[in-house]
Structure 1
Amino acid sequence: MSIQQARRAVRERGLTLIELLVAMVIALVVTLAVTSAVIFGESTKRTTTSVNDINQSGSYAAYLLDRAVRSAGSGFTQSWDLGVFGCKLQAKRSNAAILPRTTVFPVPFEKFLGDATGVADLRIAPLLIGKGQSSDGKSDVLMVMGGNAATGDVPRPIISAGASANIIRLDNTVQLRKNDIALVSQVGTTDCLLEQVDSSFADSANNELVTLNGTYYTAGVGTTLASLAATGSAYFTPLGNGAANNVQFQLFGIGTNNTLVSYDLLRSDGTDAPQTLADGVMEMHALYGLDTNTDGIIDTWKAPDATGFDIKTMMTSGALSRQVVAVRVGLVLRSATLERGVVSETIPAMFADTGLTRAAVTLTNDDRRYRYRVVEFTIPLRNVLLLPKS
């Protein structure tokens, strides 16, 4: 064999078995390293995304609650001592009675006010807290009532009844508009009526008569519109406008699958069902901020299950509702991602600076494989704070 042929044979020989095995080992190591890096990156990305999601959900839930509670009492706070705070609301929608209600509220509010008897006694208040009255028995329920009266929340004395049961005579009708929604109340009378100004109404000089009719008109049962108007001591308090849909009487609570939900007590959309607002919210808890000497400053915090401050006592006492000038809300947020290992041992404590600390909750089993965050915020009831101070 010539030298040239020998060199050609060496070049055509290829890889030895040992070289091939070494190459395979190197390839496997590189593949494992790349795969591990990808898996770690994806895991980190899922965790980061999950944490970002609960942060955004918490911010959005806090915004929704803040917007509703901050406006609580709008439209009727100035009438708090004119038979409004603590009155039992009668309301109809399209001639069908919606309040007082004869059955419990839909899930997750079926425990609100205890039972059907409690629901039937629902009263007017800017804010009420139902301690542990969500379906799970852990989360609180917030009831928030408010409007957006363009007339500056000014109650109008009802001078007398009109020629028919749905006509009333006011001391003036300035700034009233067609489809306005209002409360008719009287000091010392348990019931109050939700009424609507007729769509044909048009204010004019020296006019004192208002015809009531429309979606939310009611003649009243037991306590009637005619009987209240005839006394000459009842009040007509504008809340907002039906066409603008700015009268918001709502419940807020925690539903299935860790969702913040609301329920419209006036059924403005025509349905008797809750609406999902935000996900990732596992629990909601709240405290009353009380101004006991009407100086516009929070004097103390009270738990909604404290003696004398349970929801049934609060809603029937206008004087107690008048003291509520703020609410402290705590939301427990939980990520949607089930981690491979334990990442949380406890749910953090809340309300530490109020003297009513809710202790940290020790987690067990798979609950420890989720990430948690507690969001706390204080919401002032600006309409109550605007009432005259002592």
Structure 2
Amino acid sequence: MKAVRPISALKRHRGFSLIELMVGVGIGLVITLAVFQVLTASEARKRTSTGLNDASQSGNYALYVLDRMLRSAGTGYSQGWATVGGCRLNALLPGGESLPRVGPLPAPFTAIPQAFRLAPVVIFRGASDTGSDVLMVMSGATGYGEVLTNVPAGGVAATQVTLPNTIGYRAGDLVMLASGGECLLSQVDAAKPACAGDPAAPLGTACGPILPLGGTYYTPAGPNLSLATLALQSDVSAFSIGNATTNPPQFGLIGVGADSTLFAHNLLLFNGVNASEPIAEGVRELYAVYGLDTNDDGILDAWQSPTALWDGPALMDGSAASNARLRQIVAVRVGMVLRSSLVERELSPGVPVAPANLPLFSDLPAPNPIIVDLTRAGENRNQRHRTVEITVPLRNFLMRTTS
């Protein structure tokens, strides 16, 4: 006969003991903590990657804009450089402004000189409001022959210019009239009828010699040159640089401003607003150097920092020596320091994520390399930094007629 266990003894052997429960809870906490650590590290890496990707995309777009601007530099006048290269620009601009400027340029270009000369590319070292370089790029947009037109003696009048022919000129086109180191910007009047070369012209319509002047950019006199003065000259040249509405030329500045933003400013104020336009964010620094053809054989021979005789104000003094230097520039190398917007934790106590400095142009001979100091005021080394560089040939100057 079997012995019957007491009910109280059976109850004591059901479920988990307190020790077993505590061990299970402890194991669960350890696993939870491990999973949390993995998720935290993964999320941190994802934020870092996202921040760097955003900075890289912004930098790539900035490089695209720079590449497009620089490759077109010199379009429309490179073939006539000996005649119009380095001429001082005179223009009436929308909003009461002019070239040379009446007031200072908008930020971040307030330190740039107010007078400009026709040149494909000029670098102003450390001239932006944040201390980075500023690029000035000039190019036309007509693509019609790229050859200057000689104006016959007495061919300039108050409201018109007489040319051998006006093929290629359309209503609203911007026309540069040059003589004696000065250039006056004018505009073809809207009343000019369509003629040969214009798809809107009836078949067989001939172009006469008269080019009527009028419109927003028309002015009888600029600060340093007038139509009346040109009427007395025998060495006047004319060339189209584009259309103010449908195909505007590119006369602009580009540089880094506040909030690590790359800005551009159109010197001809096509939008009528005297303000700079943000291009890309996350750009902390911008620097550039020239590539020179020193013996006029169309081959890059040396790299030159924009200092001393090669600084912006020196290259734009209008002297024959400066014009000769401008003609040697056949390429530009641009370097930028990009910064992500994410502020990260230190890698370890006292060790930030960014190095103390970053090099640009490190493969070039001295004194071209630049060391960007990330320990200076305003920098945050707990944000990721990255450098990008691009070398752009000035194709219009490489194709120019040699002297």
TM-score of the pair, normalised by structure 2: 0.87
Structure 1 gap segments, 5+ residues each: 114-118
Superposed, which structure 2 residues align to 1:296-307 within 5 Å?
A: 296-305=298-307, 307=308
d(CA) in 1 for partners of 2:374, 2:99: 41
2:135 alignment partner AA: L
2:152 is equivalent to residue 152 of structure 1: no
**What's 1:43 paired with?**
44
**What's 1:373 paired with?**
386
2:73 is equivalent to residue 62 of structure 1: no
d(CA) in 2 for partners of 1:361, 1:109: 21
Q: In 2 relative to 1, CA 364–39 (structure 1 residues): closer, same or farther, beyond 3 Å?
A: same
2:186 alignment partner AA: E
The answer to whether the 8 A contact 1:156-1:172 is kept is no
Superposed, which structure 2 residues align to 1:273-352 within 5 Å?
A: 273-305=275-307, 307-315=308-316, 316=318, 317-341=322-346, 342-352=352-362
d(CA) in 2 for partners of 1:52, 1:206: 54
The answer to whether the 8 A contact 1:181-1:241 is kept is yes
**What's 2:202 paired with?**
none
d(CA) in 1 for partners of 2:31, 2:279: 47
Superposed, which structure 2 residues align to 1:159-308 within 5 Å?
A: 159-161=152-154, 165-186=158-179, 189-202=180-193, 203=195, 204-205=205-206, 207-221=208-222, 222-305=224-307, 307-308=308-309
1:276 alignment partner AA: P
Partner SS state of residue 79, structure 1: helix
- Measure how far apart 1:225 and its partner are: 1.5
- Measure how far apart 1:147 and its partner are: 1.4
d(CA) in 2 for partners of 1:217, 1:250: 20
2:210 alignment partner AA: L
The answer to whether the 8 A contact 1:345-1:362 is kept is no
- Measure how far apart 1:352 and its partner are: 2.6
d(CA) in 2 for partners of 1:282, 1:312: 24
Partner SS state of residue 287, structure 2: strand
Partner SS state of residue 391, structure 2: strand
The answer to whether the 8 A contact 2:341-2:383 is kept is yes
TM-score of the pair, normalised by structure 1: 0.90
Superposed, which structure 2 residues align to 1:112-131 within 5 Å?
A: 112-113=112-113, 119=114, 121-131=115-125
**What's 2:199 paired with?**
none
Q: In 2 relative to 1, CA 362–104 (structure 1 residues): closer, same or farther, beyond 3 Å?
A: closer
Q: CA RMSD in A?
A: 2.2
d(CA) in 2 for partners of 1:39, 1:199: 65
Partner SS state of residue 324, structure 2: helix
- Measure how far apart 1:91 and its partner are: 1.2
d(CA) in 1 for partners of 2:49, 2:30: 28
Identity over aligned pairs, percent:
41
The answer to whether the 8 A contact 2:142-2:247 is kept is no
d(CA) in 1 for partners of 2:370, 2:392: 22
Number of aligned residue pairs? 378
The answer to whether the 8 A contact 1:259-1:282 is kept is yes
- Measure how far apart 1:367 and its partner are: 3.1
The answer to whether the 8 A contact 1:161-1:168 is kept is no
**What's 1:385 paired with?**
398
> Which digits, 9 at most, give the CA deviation of each residue in 1:251-270, with x for residues without a partner?
00001111111011111111
**What's 1:85 paired with?**
85
> Which digits, 9 at most, give the CA deviation of each residue in 1:36-74, with x for residues without a partner?
111111000011112222222222111110100110111
The answer to whether the 8 A contact 2:331-2:391 is kept is yes
The answer to whether the 8 A contact 1:154-1:238 is kept is no
d(CA) in 1 for partners of 2:210, 2:100: 28
Partner SS state of residue 36, structure 1: helix
d(CA) in 2 for partners of 1:163, 1:26: 94
